[in-house]
Structures are given as C-alpha cells and as structure tokens.
Amino acid sequence: MRSIFLFCCISLLCLKGITQNERLFQPDAKLLSVINKNFSDADEQYRVLMKMVPENEFPKTFFPATRKYEFSSADWWCSGFYAGTLLNLFRETNDTLLWHEAIKSMHFLQKEEFNTGTHDLGFMMYSSFGTANKISPSKNYEQVLMNSAKSLITRFNAKVGCIKSWDNTPWKFPVIIDNMMNLELLFWATKFSGDSSFYHIAVTHANTTMKNHYRPDYSSYHMVNYDPNTGNVIGKITVQGYADSSAWARGQAWGLYGYTVAYRETKDNKYLQQAEYIADFILHHPNYPSDGIPYWDFNVPNIPHALRDASAASVLASALLELYKYVDLPHAKNYVAAAEKIITTLSSPQYKAVIGTNGGFILEHSVGHMPSKSEIDVPLTYADYYFVEAMMRYRNLGK
C-alpha cells in the first residue's frame, strides 16, 4: 500500500516536470533568507532606477564615478532585460508598481517584433514578453512572440546552418556564441504554433555551433565567420574577448545556458553532454576564482589583477541551476554548490549595491566590452536580469 502511495506521489511530481534531483534538493536556509532580502532590496533599487528612465528609453548602465546613466533605444540587444527584471521581481514581491513599469517599457519595445536587422530578438523579446506571457498569458504577448520568432528566422542561412549575428561588418557571415541564447524563442514558437520550422532552425544552429565554435577543451571561440555561399568556415576570432584563442567569460556562460536550454527543449543527450563539458571547463579552470565570479576572460594575462565580470557570474549561476535538474547526482551537487557560491558572493557588499547607490542597479562590477573600452567595471542591465533569474531558480527548485 505504502509503495503504491509513493509511486503515485513520484508520478505526480514527474507529471509536474519535477526531476529526481529536484526532489532531493535541500536548499541552504541561510542562502534562502539572503535571497528573500535581495528581492526586497532589488524592489527598492528598481524603484530608484525607474524614476530615472526616460520615456521610450531602456537602461543599459550607470557610471558611478560621473553619476551618468546610459540608456538605449528599443533596438539595442539589452532592451528587454529591464522589463524582464521588473516582471520577475514582481513575481517575487507582488509589487504592482514594478508590473506597471514593465508594461510601460514593453509598450515602447513591442515594435521590435518586426526588426529583422538583429539576431538578438530572443534576448529582447523572450526576456520581456516571454516572461510576461508566463505570468499572465495573453493573445497579444503570443502574437508579439510569434512575430519576433518569424523575424528572427529570416536571418537563417541553410547553407551555413546558422542564424547570422551582425550586419554591416567586415565579416561575411558572423555568428557569435551569444546567439545560442536566442534559440529559446524559437523553441517556444514551435511549441505554441505547432510549426516545426522554428525548432528545426534552432536545432540546426545549435548543431553547427557545437561543431565550429568549440575547441577540444570545450571552451568557445567568440565568433565564427562563415562563407554564406558555401557554408565554409572563414575564420574564428574574438570581438569582446582578450584574444582569438582565449575564453571570454560571458561567452562561455552564454554557451552553457544555451545548450542547457537546447537539452530542455529537445531531450537530445548530445546537448546535455555539451553543457556538462562546458560547465566542467569553467568550474575546473585554474583561473576560475574560488569565490565563483569569473575574470572577464579566462586567459587575460593580468590575472589575478584582472577585472571580474558579475554578468558572466549571473548567467553562469542561472544556467547551472537549470543544468542541475538533468544530470547525475554527483555532478548535480557540484553545480548547485557552484551556483550557491556565486549567489552568495554576488549578495555580498563587494558586488551588491547599497540601496540608493549604483544608479538603482542591483549589482556592481560587470564588464561589457573590454576591447572597445566600453562598460568596464559598471552595473549592467543583464547582470541584474540573470542574477534575479538565478535566485528565482534557486528558490523554486523542487517546487
């Protein structure tokens, strides 16, 4: 009788999509209380930030030394993170002011659904409209997401097997590792519409990237330039990293997150294996600091004096907390311990801003684009977004 009862409970949890690792998950009570405090502090911080955001503009960063903000127009790759962070904070705090601010921001963002000049529609529209649709599904959000997915796939080249990253560059058909993050929108579009072409393109892009972006040690090049007529690789270089042959930290985290999503959406084991290899590259790298916050590039020569990148750490923590669900228990325990370490460090005064400072952003000390000397050691909208997401994932594991 007891075993039938247990079987029914386990079956019900499986139906809810809860994995065995999640069932066994034992959250750290101290960290949970830190996370609760972080959410209420972040709510206050975003109330500071929202007073400063001009209509029809989107927060990028703040320069503490000069107390100057940088905002973007809707077509910048980061324009959806502000709304996404507000929406996730609303989920955690029920502060309706944040919800209304997010809706206002999305009103100005919506027109990007028809933007075929960027590969970043996943970042822009799925973090915002995708999150809103999870909280309060609506035909309007679904339509925006479908239009965005249709715009994104116009950039796919079947000969190359990838979605093109940037237009108007010296490169013929550049594809950056970051682009793995835009596939989640396409997986959603197939689930929603039943049209498998979005799924097919996402899987093809993931396969081509696995073949050409990764080195034997499972670190990733930042960019692969293809010949759009033959699909041949012309070159493998970096734009945002220290060197062509180096491992730019955020790029490694984008890849880890991207392949974890690809596994979630396809259940194809090769993506799971890839994600585990990437996680192991990062977590066992001799230059990965014991407090969990990567240097902005794993191979920059001035380590240990190089700057850290809180944004890479946030993406990494969030990705590890999803990967945790799918792997063998010994690996899972390492991944969750690594994520706990990152969240703990980011929650310390070293990274988490005092309320009312840092322009209203939650985290300090990210590196946007070192080679172009922009956004260095500053808050960044996506560092906040993935930090909030990582904390939500931690709190919701097993629920």
Shortest Cβ 190–ligand GLY spacing (Å): 25
Catalytic residue among 178, 297, 309, 377: 178
Catalytic residue among 28, 41, 95, 120: 120
Distance CA 273, CA 285 (A): 18
- How much of the chain is in helix, strand and coil states, percent to nearest 5? 55, 10, 35
Distance CA 100, CA 71 (A): 19
124: alpha, beta or left, given left = phi > 0 and alpha = psi -120 to 50? alpha
Out of 155, 213, 250, 308, name the contact with ligand GLY by CB under 6 A. Answer: 250
- The residue type of 47 is R
Q: Is 164 in the site for ligand GLY (CB under 6 A)?
A: no
Count CB neighbours of 229 within 10 A.
11
In the bound state with ligand GLY, the residue whose beta carbon lies nearer, of 310 and 332, is 310
Shortest Cβ 199–ligand GLY spacing (Å): 24
Q: Quickly tell me which residue has 């585990």 as its tokens.
A: 276
CB 52 within 8 A of CB 95: no
Shortest Cβ 124–ligand GLY spacing (Å): 12
How big is the site for ligand GLY, counted in residues (CB under 6 A)?
Answer: 4
- Burial pattern 195-217, b for ≥16 Cβ within 10 A else e, equals eeebbebbbbbbbbbbebbbeee
SS3 234: strand
Out of 57, 95, 178, 297, name the contact with ligand GLY by CB under 6 A. Answer: 178
Is-catalytic flag, 178? yes
Shortest Cβ 103–ligand GLY spacing (Å): 26
Is-catalytic flag, 280? no
Element (H, E) at 102: helix 96-109
Tell me the residue nearest to ligand GLY as measured from the CB.
Answer: 178
Q: What are phi and psi of 194, to 5 degrees?
A: 80, 0
The residues annotated with a catalytic role in the active site are 120, 178
Contacting residues toward ligand GLY, per CB under 6 A: 77, 178, 240, 250
